[in-house]
Protein backbone atom coordinates (compact mmCIF):
# COMPACT_ATOMS: atom_id res chain seq x y z
CA UNK A 1 0.00 0.00 0.00
CA UNK A 2 2.82 2.43 0.77
CA UNK A 3 5.35 3.09 -2.00
CA UNK A 4 8.61 3.62 -0.15
CA UNK A 5 10.46 4.94 -3.19
CA UNK A 6 8.10 7.89 -3.44
CA UNK A 7 8.04 9.10 0.13
CA UNK A 8 10.38 10.25 2.84
CA UNK A 9 8.71 7.84 5.24
CA UNK A 10 10.91 5.27 6.97
CA UNK A 11 10.88 1.90 5.21
CA UNK A 12 11.73 -0.10 8.31
CA UNK A 13 15.02 -1.70 7.41
CA UNK A 14 16.26 -1.76 11.00
CA UNK A 15 13.67 -3.21 13.37
CA UNK A 16 15.05 -3.61 16.87
CA UNK A 17 13.01 -6.19 18.81
CA UNK A 18 15.56 -6.19 21.65
CA UNK A 19 14.63 -2.72 22.92
CA UNK A 20 13.49 -2.83 26.55
CA UNK A 21 10.81 -0.27 27.25
CA UNK A 22 7.70 -0.43 25.15
CA UNK A 23 7.38 2.88 23.39
CA UNK A 24 4.39 4.54 21.81
CA UNK A 25 3.72 7.45 19.54
CA UNK A 26 0.61 9.42 18.58
CA UNK A 27 0.97 11.22 15.27
CA UNK A 28 -1.36 13.96 14.09
CA UNK A 29 -1.95 13.10 10.47
CA UNK A 30 -3.43 15.72 8.15
CA UNK A 31 -4.40 13.27 5.42
CA UNK A 32 -7.61 13.43 3.33
CA UNK A 33 -9.33 13.16 6.67
CA UNK A 34 -7.65 14.41 9.85
CA UNK A 35 -6.87 11.64 12.34
CA UNK A 36 -4.40 10.68 15.01
CA UNK A 37 -2.32 7.50 14.56
CA UNK A 38 -1.75 5.64 17.82
CA UNK A 39 1.16 3.22 17.50
CA UNK A 40 2.29 0.80 20.22
CA UNK A 41 5.67 -0.92 20.00
CA UNK A 42 5.25 -4.69 20.22
CA UNK A 43 7.33 -7.61 18.93
CA UNK A 44 9.52 -5.37 16.80
CA UNK A 45 6.73 -3.49 15.03
CA UNK A 46 4.30 -0.69 15.80
CA UNK A 47 0.75 -1.98 16.19
CA UNK A 48 -1.38 0.88 14.86
CA UNK A 49 -4.81 2.45 15.02
CA UNK A 50 -6.12 5.56 13.22
CA UNK A 51 -8.28 7.57 15.65
CA UNK A 52 -10.39 10.22 13.83
CA UNK A 53 -11.13 12.28 16.96
CA UNK A 54 -7.91 11.71 18.84
CA UNK A 55 -7.19 10.03 22.17
CA UNK A 56 -10.24 10.64 24.41
CA UNK A 57 -9.37 12.69 27.52
CA UNK A 58 -12.54 11.62 29.31
CA UNK A 59 -13.96 8.16 30.15
CA UNK A 60 -17.46 9.33 29.17
CA UNK A 61 -16.47 9.67 25.51
CA UNK A 62 -15.18 6.59 23.66
CA UNK A 63 -13.63 7.25 20.29
CA UNK A 64 -13.57 5.13 17.15
CA UNK A 65 -10.12 3.62 16.47
CA UNK A 66 -9.58 1.96 13.10
CA UNK A 67 -7.01 -0.83 13.29
CA UNK A 68 -4.46 -0.28 10.52
CA UNK A 69 -1.45 -2.22 9.33
CA UNK A 70 1.62 -2.64 11.56
CA UNK A 71 4.23 0.02 10.92
CA UNK A 72 8.04 -0.20 11.24
CA UNK A 73 9.66 1.07 14.45
CA UNK A 74 11.19 4.02 12.61
CA UNK A 75 7.73 5.59 12.71
CA UNK A 76 8.25 6.28 16.42
CA UNK A 77 9.70 9.66 15.54
CA UNK A 78 8.53 10.15 11.97
CA UNK A 79 7.19 13.55 11.04
CA UNK A 80 7.06 15.28 7.71
CA UNK A 81 5.22 15.43 4.42
CA UNK A 82 3.89 12.33 2.74
CA UNK A 83 3.63 13.39 -0.93
CA UNK A 84 0.47 13.59 -3.05
CA UNK A 85 -0.36 10.27 -4.65
CA UNK A 86 1.16 8.22 -1.83
CA UNK A 87 -0.92 6.34 0.72
CA UNK A 88 -1.75 8.71 3.59
CA UNK A 89 -0.63 11.83 1.68
CA UNK A 90 -0.47 14.91 3.89
CA UNK A 91 1.57 16.23 6.79
CA UNK A 92 2.33 14.16 9.87
CA UNK A 93 3.58 15.54 13.19
CA UNK A 94 4.42 13.78 16.45
CA UNK A 95 1.59 14.78 18.79
CA UNK A 96 2.86 12.76 21.74
CA UNK A 97 5.35 10.04 22.51
CA UNK A 98 6.48 8.10 25.57
CA UNK A 99 6.37 4.63 27.04
CA UNK A 100 3.50 2.35 27.98
CA UNK A 101 2.69 -0.65 30.15
CA UNK A 102 0.66 -3.58 28.89
CA UNK A 103 -1.96 -5.02 31.25
CA UNK A 104 -3.78 -7.21 28.75
CA UNK A 105 -3.09 -8.05 25.09
CA UNK A 106 -5.52 -10.20 23.12
CA UNK A 107 -6.55 -10.38 19.45
CA UNK A 108 -9.63 -8.28 20.09
CA UNK A 109 -8.66 -6.26 23.17
CA UNK A 110 -5.68 -4.49 24.67
CA UNK A 111 -5.39 -2.66 27.96
CA UNK A 112 -2.42 -0.34 28.36
CA UNK A 113 -1.25 2.62 30.43
CA UNK A 114 0.28 5.38 28.33
CA UNK A 115 2.94 7.61 29.88
CA UNK A 116 3.33 10.53 27.51
CA UNK A 117 3.69 14.27 27.83
CA UNK A 118 0.11 14.93 26.77
CA UNK A 119 -1.58 11.60 27.39
CA UNK A 120 -1.18 9.90 30.74
CA UNK A 121 -3.55 7.15 31.80
CA UNK A 122 -4.99 3.71 31.36
CA UNK A 123 -6.81 2.95 28.13
CA UNK A 124 -8.70 -0.03 26.71
CA UNK A 125 -8.76 -0.71 22.98
CA UNK A 126 -11.42 -3.20 21.96
CA UNK A 127 -12.69 -4.55 18.65
CA UNK A 128 -16.31 -3.96 17.76
CA UNK A 129 -16.40 -5.26 14.16
CA UNK A 130 -13.68 -6.03 11.61
CA UNK A 131 -11.06 -3.30 11.72
CA UNK A 132 -13.38 -1.08 13.78
CA UNK A 133 -12.21 -0.74 17.36
CA UNK A 134 -12.99 1.71 20.14
CA UNK A 135 -10.60 3.42 22.52
CA UNK A 136 -11.85 4.05 26.05
CA UNK A 137 -10.16 5.93 28.87
CA UNK A 138 -10.35 3.76 32.02
CA UNK A 139 -8.84 6.33 34.39
CA UNK A 140 -10.75 9.36 35.61
CA UNK A 141 -10.50 12.37 33.26
CA UNK A 142 -7.01 13.82 33.03
CA UNK A 143 -8.65 17.12 33.98
CA UNK A 144 -11.40 16.22 36.51
CA UNK A 145 -13.06 19.62 36.14
CA UNK A 146 -13.38 19.22 32.37
CA UNK A 147 -16.96 19.62 31.11
CA UNK A 148 -18.65 18.66 27.87
CA UNK A 149 -18.68 21.37 25.24
CA UNK A 150 -22.11 23.04 25.04
CA UNK A 151 -23.84 23.03 21.66
CA UNK A 152 -26.45 25.76 22.24
CA UNK A 153 -24.50 28.94 23.05
CA UNK A 154 -25.84 32.18 21.58
CA UNK A 155 -24.03 35.37 20.72
CA UNK A 156 -23.64 38.47 22.84
CA UNK A 157 -24.99 41.50 20.96
CA UNK A 158 -23.79 45.09 20.99
CA UNK A 159 -26.00 48.07 21.81
CA UNK A 160 -26.01 50.85 19.16
CA UNK A 161 -24.59 54.09 20.56
CA UNK A 162 -21.81 56.67 20.68
CA UNK A 163 -18.14 56.36 21.58
CA UNK A 164 -17.71 56.09 25.38
CA UNK A 165 -16.04 58.97 27.23
CA UNK A 166 -13.61 56.67 29.04
CA UNK A 167 -11.98 55.13 25.98
CA UNK A 168 -9.19 53.64 28.11
CA UNK A 169 -11.68 51.19 29.61
CA UNK A 170 -12.48 49.73 26.20
CA UNK A 171 -10.97 47.72 23.37
CA UNK A 172 -12.09 48.82 19.91
CA UNK A 173 -12.58 46.64 16.85
CA UNK A 174 -13.77 47.38 13.34
CA UNK A 175 -17.44 46.44 12.90
CA UNK A 176 -17.20 44.02 9.97
CA UNK A 177 -20.20 43.64 7.69
CA UNK A 178 -20.94 40.02 7.09
CA UNK A 179 -22.50 36.97 8.70
CA UNK A 180 -21.94 36.69 12.44
CA UNK A 181 -21.25 33.06 13.33
CA UNK A 182 -20.21 30.94 16.27
CA UNK A 183 -17.69 28.19 15.46
CA UNK A 184 -17.91 25.01 17.55
CA UNK A 185 -14.68 23.06 17.05
CA UNK A 186 -13.91 19.60 18.42
CA UNK A 187 -11.64 16.82 17.17
CA UNK A 188 -10.63 18.95 14.18
CA UNK A 189 -14.28 19.25 13.06
CA UNK A 190 -16.07 22.58 12.85
CA UNK A 191 -19.73 23.56 13.09
CA UNK A 192 -20.64 27.15 12.12
CA UNK A 193 -23.90 28.51 13.53
CA UNK A 194 -25.36 31.88 12.50
CA UNK A 195 -27.29 34.53 14.48
CA UNK A 196 -30.55 32.64 14.13
CA UNK A 197 -29.11 29.37 15.35
CA UNK A 198 -28.92 27.83 11.86
CA UNK A 199 -25.93 25.71 10.92
CA UNK A 200 -24.12 27.28 7.95
CA UNK A 201 -21.04 25.04 7.78
CA UNK A 202 -22.05 23.67 4.37
CA UNK A 203 -22.26 27.17 2.89
CA UNK A 204 -18.67 27.99 3.87
CA UNK A 205 -16.57 24.86 3.25
CA UNK A 206 -13.30 26.82 3.16
CA UNK A 207 -13.58 27.36 6.92
CA UNK A 208 -13.36 23.60 7.62
CA UNK A 209 -9.58 23.85 7.32
CA UNK A 210 -9.57 26.06 10.43
CA UNK A 211 -11.03 23.12 12.36
CA UNK A 212 -8.26 20.84 11.14
CA UNK A 213 -5.65 23.49 11.98
CA UNK A 214 -6.93 23.51 15.58
CA UNK A 215 -6.14 19.78 15.92
CA UNK A 216 -7.39 18.45 19.27
CA UNK A 217 -8.12 21.92 20.66
CA UNK A 218 -11.77 22.10 21.69
CA UNK A 219 -13.08 25.62 21.32
CA UNK A 220 -16.15 27.79 20.71
CA UNK A 221 -15.37 31.02 18.86
CA UNK A 222 -17.48 34.06 18.07
CA UNK A 223 -16.69 35.86 14.86
CA UNK A 224 -17.90 37.09 11.52
CA UNK A 225 -17.78 35.67 8.01
CA UNK A 226 -16.78 38.36 5.56
CA UNK A 227 -16.83 38.42 1.75
CA UNK A 228 -14.65 41.18 0.37
CA UNK A 229 -14.98 42.99 -2.93
CA UNK A 230 -12.17 43.82 -5.38
CA UNK A 231 -11.38 46.90 -3.24
CA UNK A 232 -10.69 44.68 -0.22
CA UNK A 233 -13.69 46.01 1.73
CA UNK A 234 -16.51 43.86 3.10
CA UNK A 235 -19.13 43.51 0.39
CA UNK A 236 -22.62 42.52 1.56
CA UNK A 237 -23.87 41.88 -1.98
CA UNK A 238 -21.11 39.37 -2.60
CA UNK A 239 -21.95 37.73 0.72
CA UNK A 240 -25.60 37.54 -0.37
CA UNK A 241 -24.46 35.64 -3.47
CA UNK A 242 -22.62 33.13 -1.30
CA UNK A 243 -25.70 32.70 0.89
CA UNK A 244 -27.92 32.14 -2.15
CA UNK A 245 -26.04 28.99 -3.25
CA UNK A 246 -28.38 26.07 -2.78
CA UNK A 247 -26.37 23.08 -4.01
CA UNK A 248 -22.92 21.79 -3.11
CA UNK A 249 -21.75 22.36 -6.67
CA UNK A 250 -22.97 25.97 -6.61
CA UNK A 251 -21.14 26.47 -3.31
CA UNK A 252 -17.95 25.05 -4.85
CA UNK A 253 -18.19 27.37 -7.86
CA UNK A 254 -18.79 30.45 -5.72
CA UNK A 255 -15.95 29.57 -3.34
CA UNK A 256 -13.49 30.36 -6.12
CA UNK A 257 -15.08 33.61 -7.33
CA UNK A 258 -16.35 34.95 -3.97
CA UNK A 259 -13.90 33.90 -1.25
CA UNK A 260 -14.93 34.32 2.39
CA UNK A 261 -12.82 34.91 5.51
CA UNK A 262 -13.83 33.95 9.04
CA UNK A 263 -12.67 36.55 11.56
CA UNK A 264 -12.94 35.17 15.11
CA UNK A 265 -12.92 37.96 17.70
CA UNK A 266 -13.88 36.14 20.89
CA UNK A 267 -13.57 32.78 22.62
CA UNK A 268 -16.43 31.35 24.72
CA UNK A 269 -15.09 27.90 25.51
CA UNK A 270 -11.67 26.31 25.60
CA UNK A 271 -10.68 22.68 26.26
CA UNK A 272 -13.46 21.65 28.59
CA UNK A 273 -13.99 25.01 30.28
CA UNK A 274 -16.21 28.05 29.75
CA UNK A 275 -14.22 31.25 29.23
CA UNK A 276 -17.31 33.48 29.23
CA UNK A 277 -16.72 34.70 32.79
CA UNK A 278 -13.21 35.92 31.97
CA UNK A 279 -12.83 39.62 31.16
CA UNK A 280 -12.77 40.49 27.46
CA UNK A 281 -9.10 41.45 27.72
CA UNK A 282 -8.22 37.99 29.04
CA UNK A 283 -10.36 36.23 26.42
CA UNK A 284 -8.53 38.10 23.67
CA UNK A 285 -5.23 36.76 25.05
CA UNK A 286 -6.60 33.20 24.94
CA UNK A 287 -7.73 33.86 21.38
CA UNK A 288 -4.29 35.14 20.36
CA UNK A 289 -2.71 32.03 21.90
CA UNK A 290 -4.64 29.88 19.40
CA UNK A 291 -2.62 31.44 16.54
CA UNK A 292 -5.57 31.45 14.16
CA UNK A 293 -4.10 32.68 10.91
CA UNK A 294 -4.83 30.73 7.76
CA UNK A 295 -5.90 31.14 4.14
CA UNK A 296 -9.57 31.70 5.09
CA UNK A 297 -9.43 32.78 8.72
CA UNK A 298 -7.67 35.47 10.74
CA UNK A 299 -8.16 37.15 14.12
CA UNK A 300 -8.99 40.84 13.52
CA UNK A 301 -7.05 43.52 15.40
CA UNK A 302 -8.24 45.09 18.63
CA UNK A 303 -7.13 48.56 19.71
CA UNK A 304 -7.27 49.30 23.44
CA UNK A 305 -8.22 52.89 24.26
CA UNK A 306 -8.10 54.13 20.66
CA UNK A 307 -11.76 54.46 19.74
CA UNK A 308 -11.71 57.95 18.18
CA UNK A 309 -8.75 57.13 15.98
CA UNK A 310 -10.26 53.84 14.83
CA UNK A 311 -13.65 55.42 14.12
CA UNK A 312 -11.94 58.08 12.03
CA UNK A 313 -10.06 55.39 10.10
CA UNK A 314 -13.28 53.41 9.59
CA UNK A 315 -14.98 56.52 8.19
CA UNK A 316 -12.05 57.24 5.88
CA UNK A 317 -12.13 53.68 4.55
CA UNK A 318 -15.89 53.47 4.16
CA UNK A 319 -16.29 50.73 6.78
CA UNK A 320 -19.45 50.21 8.82
CA UNK A 321 -18.08 51.49 12.11
CA UNK A 322 -16.42 50.27 15.29
CA UNK A 323 -17.44 48.19 18.27
CA UNK A 324 -16.34 49.31 21.73
CA UNK A 325 -15.94 46.42 24.17
CA UNK A 326 -15.35 46.97 27.86
CA UNK A 327 -11.99 45.40 28.70
CA UNK A 328 -13.31 44.04 32.02
CA UNK A 329 -16.64 42.71 30.75
CA UNK A 330 -17.60 39.03 30.66
CA UNK A 331 -19.19 37.44 27.60
CA UNK A 332 -22.92 37.58 28.32
CA UNK A 333 -24.30 34.64 26.34
CA UNK A 334 -27.39 35.54 24.31
CA UNK A 335 -27.67 39.05 25.75
CA UNK A 336 -27.70 42.52 24.24
CA UNK A 337 -25.65 44.60 26.64
CA UNK A 338 -24.15 48.10 26.99
CA UNK A 339 -20.73 46.45 27.60
CA UNK A 340 -20.46 46.33 23.82
CA UNK A 341 -21.36 49.49 21.90
CA UNK A 342 -21.59 49.58 18.13
CA UNK A 343 -20.74 53.03 16.79
CA UNK A 344 -21.68 53.66 13.16
CA UNK A 345 -19.17 55.45 10.98
What is the binding site for Mn ion (CB under 5 A)? Answer: 29, 37, 88
Asked whether the beta carbons of 173 and 302 are under 8 A apart, the reply is yes
251-272 residues labelled b (16+ CB within 10 A) or e (exposed)? beebbeebebbbbbbbbbbbeb
By CB atoms closer than 10 A (0-12, 13-18, 19+), residue 207 is buried
Give me the least distance between CB of 57 and Mn ion, in Å please: 20
Give me the least distance between CB of 87 and Mn ion, in Å please: 9
Give me the least distance between CB of 37 and Mn ion, in Å please: 4
Asked whether the beta carbons of 88 and 107 are under 8 A apart, the reply is no
Give me the least distance between CB of 120 and Mn ion, in Å please: 23
Asked whether the beta carbons of 67 and 48 are under 8 A apart, the reply is yes
Write down the H helix ranges in the chain: 208-213, 236-244, 248-257, 280-289, 307-316
Give me the least distance between CB of 82 and Mn ion, in Å please: 9
CA-to-CA separations, 40 to 47, 71, 92, 112, 252, in angstroms, rounded: 5, 10, 17, 9, 40
Name the residue number minimizing CB distance to Mn ion.
Answer: 29
Amino acid sequence: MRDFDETAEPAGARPDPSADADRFVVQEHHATSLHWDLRLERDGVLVSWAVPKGIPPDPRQNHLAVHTEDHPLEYLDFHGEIPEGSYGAGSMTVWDTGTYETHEWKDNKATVTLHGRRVDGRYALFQTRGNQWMIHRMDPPADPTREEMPTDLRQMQATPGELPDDEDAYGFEVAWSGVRALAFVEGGRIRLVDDDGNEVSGTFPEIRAMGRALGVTQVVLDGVLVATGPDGKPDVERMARRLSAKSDSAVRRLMASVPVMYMPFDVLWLDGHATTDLPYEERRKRLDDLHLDGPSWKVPATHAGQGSALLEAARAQGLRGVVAKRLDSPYRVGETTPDWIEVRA
